[in-house]
Amino acid sequence: KSARWDLKDNESKHLPIYQHKPKLIQAVKNSTFLVVTGETGSGKTTQLPQYLHEAGFCKNGKIGITQPRRVAAITVAQRVAEEMQYTLGREVGYQIRFDDCTSQDTVVKYMTDGCLLREILADPGLSQYSVVILDEVHERSLNTDILLGLLKKIFSNSPKASKSRSFPLKVVVMSATLETDKLSAFLSNCPVFTIPGRTFPVTCTFGSAVGPKDTESTSYIKEVVNMALAVHTSEMAGDILVFLTGQSEIERACDLLFEKAESIDYRYDVQDQTVEGLLILPLYGSMPTDQQRQIFQPPPPGIRKCVVATNIAATSLTVNGVKYIIDSGFVKQLNHNSRVGMDILEVVPISKSEAQQRAGRAGRTSAGKCFRIYTKEFWEKCMPEYTVPEIQRTSLTAVILTLKCLGVHDVIRFPYLDSPEERFILEALKQLYQFDAIDRRGNVTQLGELMVEFPLHPGLTRAVLKATSLGCKDLLLPVAAMLSVENIFIRPGHPDKQKEAEKKHRVLAAKSGGTNDFATLLTVFQSCKSSDRPSEWCKENWIHWRALKSAISVETQLRDILLRLQQNRDIPKETFDGKKSEVFRRCLCTGYFTNVARRSVGKVFCTMDGHGSMVHIHPSSSLFDQEAGLNWVIFHDVLVTSRMYIRTVCPIRYEWVKDLLPKLHEVDVYELSSVARQ
């Protein structure tokens, strides 16, 4: 064996989990369900699958490990492939939506929880797997919660569950220390394996920068930067981990930090220890994986590392060497907004338990310090005790359709670890009915069966299917792909550059008529794809090349899925004689009739979904400042800041949605609910 292998091997032998290897393997063998718990960083995610592989669990089938976060699935698979000295994508691989890096040989497969949910749809017995590990269960992501309920339902009475299985499935549920009794009770009182771990004390201090009145302000970016610099210039050696909210905030903080760190005078030593520089590293979900890997590497001697991260660094990824935490007190969270009737990404205060988890990251290898920029009063008045599980705060439309397709008719009495409010389930049923995915009796329609195969929001799927029927899927597929990736328009922070970027974006919008943001997306996609040097084209036009590249790949995959569906199922043909721009917008209407707004006065629009919310067109839209000429519009999503803004907007004619709008009010939810209760 090579020297490199020995090094890695030794490293993993120091992890707390290592001493428990034989007992753990035995525990997995002993029962169908097993809960494994241990401090973040103890080695659960990277080591347990390797132990099971070594113990021969891959003879009959694969080991599948789910992660709520895409990035975690990728980086961990990379790490494990490296440790096992395999090429990523062969024996060890990963699969996330739109990115499958596995092969026939893959036996250890990391994947997002959404991917495993899809696999259950195709094969409820999971016959290809010998072990399924649900990881990061304490995060309580929607899909992981649903998987828990499904695996309990399918396998708790019969570990072989289906005829397609010749041997029993093992289900391991892994969680940081929280709620293990509850998990065990949920899974028929299954055994709990606790990996004892040593943690060191972390001293927490409250700040004065963010108080109860500041829940809406964004001053926390500046504050964490100041705090990081204060720590850097006054505390002993040791790396810093800053918790912020999202990509743009992190990029801004890194720019600010970089600017300020440049002017530090290093002629003195910090408390007798030489710290001569600051290595600033961002960490968020959508950044390129090779950049993400940097955060795991130790900094050069004398240099302090400062990682500015989203919540991803709280439990999914462990950065070694961290001694100082700077906690902004905020997180970006997807919440269902019943006022608007849809899911909205919001910046909200974290929970107290989340704050404790963040602080704990400083005490893995020695005593640490956590600097909270918020006041004690903010902690007491604004931060809830625990984070509400996603299932209780986001739209259930897609998962309810999945459950229905799996034959779970009574979606209200499904075994949920924590039940969502009944009205959320009803709202999901109503939306499925509106999109024609289920009928009045709550049964899945043909369209619903097509929809569940498509990894997009039901509305967008419906628009794509309509376009397919009308023979113009080339118009809709790129748009669907563009809406599935992160924002593609670059918005530079510098005012001059911002003007330049906006000018370029206006030119692109004008190319597609200048009055339809969906058409602009199509134009950008086509122009870039047909360009000889697409990356340069993007640079010139202030477009994120990386995002566009993934949109191109997503479009190809959606196209493949659609072709496969067309072969197996009947997608009805329709004809339309009208202008191309009209057919495009009409297809959009079939998916977005739930997002229709009508101009009331001046620049104010009123949504037609029964909520009657007052909304404004977002400045990023090409229709901004053209409101006077508009009457009816559809929009992709809503951004709530001081106002409610609609983004990605397209003008329509009332006649196009006239027949669809009544569907929003036609069905009495109780009619659907009585079906759900049957």
What residue ranges bind ligand ADP (CB under 6 A)? Answer: 15, 38, 40-47, 75-76, 78-79, 296, 318, 320
Question: 279 pairs with which residues across the strands?
Answer: 305
Report which residue type is found at 123.
D
Residues in CB range of 382: below 8 A, 6 or more apart: 212, 215, 349, 374
Residue 78 vs 184, nearer CB to ligand ADP: 78
User: Helix (H, G, I), strand (E, B), or coil: what is residue 15?
Assistant: coil
Q: Give the closest residue to 46 by CA, choosing from 159, 244, 195, 199.
A: 195
Q: Contact 81/88 with Cβ under 8 angstroms?
A: yes
Residue 50 vs 622, nearer CB to Mg ion: 50
For residue 558, CA distances in Å to 73, 98, 520, 529 come to: 22, 9, 20, 16
Q: Name the binder of 50 from Mg ion, ligand ADP, none, CB < 5-8 A by kind.
A: none
Q: Contact 323/82 with Cβ under 8 angstroms?
A: no
Q: How far is the CB of 133 from ligand ADP (least distance, A)?
A: 11
Residue 44 vs 70, nearer CB to Mg ion: 44
Residue 313 vs 470, nearer CB to ligand ADP: 313
Site for Mg ion, rule CB under 5 A: 44-45
Q: Do β-strands 614-617 and 604-607 pair in parallel, antiparallel, or remain unpaired?
A: antiparallel
Residues in CB range of 621: below 8 A, 6 or more apart: 517, 646, 647, 648, 649
Q: Name the binder of 468 from ligand ADP, Mg ion, none, CB < 5-8 A by kind.
A: none
Q: Name the binder of 37 from Mg ion, ligand ADP, none, CB < 5-8 A by kind.
A: none
Q: Name the binder of 141 from ligand ADP, Mg ion, none, CB < 5-8 A by kind.
A: none
Q: How far is the CB of 6 from ligand ADP (least distance, A)?
A: 16
Residue whose token pair is 């010139």: 540
What does the chain come to in residues?
A: 678
Residue 94 vs 206, nearer CB to ligand ADP: 94
Residue 47 vs 310, nearer CB to ligand ADP: 47
Residue 47 vs 595, nearer CB to Mg ion: 47
Q: How far is the CB of 83 from ligand ADP (least distance, A)?
A: 9
* Nearest residue to Mg ion, scored by beta-carbon proximity: 45
Q: How far is the CB of 318 from ligand ADP (least distance, A)?
A: 4
DSSP 374: B
Range list of H helices, 174-286: 180-186, 220-234, 247-262
Report the C-alpha gap between 14 and 3 in whole angstroms: 17
Q: Name the binder of 79 from ligand ADP, Mg ion, none, CB < 5-8 A by kind.
A: ligand ADP
Q: State whether the Cα torsion 621-626-632-638 is positive or negative.
A: positive
Q: How far is the CB of 90 from ligand ADP (least distance, A)?
A: 18
Q: How far is the CB of 387 from ligand ADP (least distance, A)?
A: 18
Residue 44 vs 79, nearer CB to Mg ion: 44
Residue 652 is encoded by which pair of tokens? Answer: 């329509």
Q: How far is the CB of 100 from ligand ADP (least distance, A)?
A: 20
Q: Name the binder of 305 from ligand ADP, Mg ion, none, CB < 5-8 A by kind.
A: none
User: Helix (H, G, I), strand (E, B), or coil: what is residue 212?
Assistant: helix
Residue 322 vs 438, nearer CB to ligand ADP: 322
Q: Contact 440/667 with Cβ under 8 angstroms?
A: yes
- Radius of gyration in angstroms for the set of CA atoms belonging to the chain, rounded to a whole number: 26
Q: How far is the CB of 90 from Mg ion (least distance, A)?
A: 23
Q: Name the binder of 318 from ligand ADP, Mg ion, none, CB < 5-8 A by kind.
A: ligand ADP
Q: Name the binder of 75 from ligand ADP, Mg ion, none, CB < 5-8 A by kind.
A: ligand ADP
Q: How far is the CB of 146 from ligand ADP (least distance, A)?
A: 22
Residue 47 vs 127, nearer CB to ligand ADP: 47
Residue 664 is encoded by which pair of tokens? Answer: 């929003």
Residue 559 is encoded by which pair of tokens? Answer: 């196209």
Q: How far is the CB of 244 from ligand ADP (least distance, A)?
A: 20
Q: How far is the CB of 198 from ligand ADP (least distance, A)?
A: 13
Q: State whether the Cα torsion 170-173-179-183 is positive or negative.
A: negative
Q: Give the closest residue to 127 by CA, choosing from 164, 152, 155, 170.
A: 164
Residues in CB range of 203: below 8 A, 6 or more apart: 367, 368, 369, 370
> Interior CA angle at 517 toward 515 and 518, to 5°?
120
Q: Contact 413/153 with Cβ under 8 angstroms?
A: no
Residue 66 vs 375, nearer CB to Mg ion: 66
